[in-house]
Structure 1
Amino acid sequence: MDQYPDAVLFDRDGTLIEDVPYNGDPERVRPMPGALDVLRELRAHGVRTGVVSNQSGIGRGLLTHAQVDAVNARVEALLGPFGTWQICPHHPDDGCACRKPAPALVLRACEAINARPGRTFVIGDIEADVGAALAAGATPILVPTPVTLPEEVDRAPRTAPDLASALAMVL
């Protein structure tokens, strides 16, 4: 059995970076506490990383793909490169197959970085992240923020108070 997981996939807003609703401005990107250290540790152990993010601002007409790409580029400038970025640009009412809690973003990310879903962790801050992980056969870790509902925390199979504690559950 492998000592480390194949991959750790992260939600973007509220997990890797501070949640600024419908942010299209790279200058407003602020890493979450511990994010850089956690990513450095994962990369040092050869664990692949990726991002799975709902970006309904595109489907709502509040953001362009170019704005989301610019914010994602800033995230990488601050936190280092990710093996894959999987984004759902759809409006919640579109009925797409990729919007979390559907599994498609997680499955596409695993395929893109050659990771087995059963050997992949998904770290996020809301129940949709947990649901996507479970639906894809990956292991979820919920890292609650002030926007996480108490009942989401209660239902989550694994929770961690911060990214460093989530890392300790992964490695």
Structure 2
Amino acid sequence: SEILDEEEGRKESNSDLKEKVAANFDTKKADSILAASGVSDDAAKASNITEQTNVLVLCAGGGTSGLLANALNKAAEEYHVPVKAAAGGYGAHMDIMKEYQLIILAPQVASNYEDIKQDTDRLGIKLAKTQGAEYIKLTRDGQAALDFVQKQFEN
């Protein structure tokens, strides 16, 4: 009778296994499980950026902008998103800006938005400015930084 119990147990674990396999291959079910557990599919969200996107982050001296550029590059690598970011100091950007699709102004140079907008519009480059707390969050959260980049191309 012990053997029979074991056989019964095996049947049960087989059906558990089938369920797990089904859950792994039925994406709807997996998605609803993830949604229910509060896990979002961040990688898929970020991957709306499909073409190589070069981002230039400008601040007063190049130091603060390096924080966001690094966060973007790290997240882009992690989530396999074709984004490359570089940091620069405001004023040294004129010769290189045409190589970028998006320029992000760090808070300390955000007041230059209108001046640089004439150049970015002429060159067909997106321009975004950031505020203090928002900028700090973006430097610490690569996924949010990628989302921020993506949003600039949605409008």
TM-score normalised to structure 1 length = 0.33
Which structure has the larger Rg over C-alpha atoms? 2
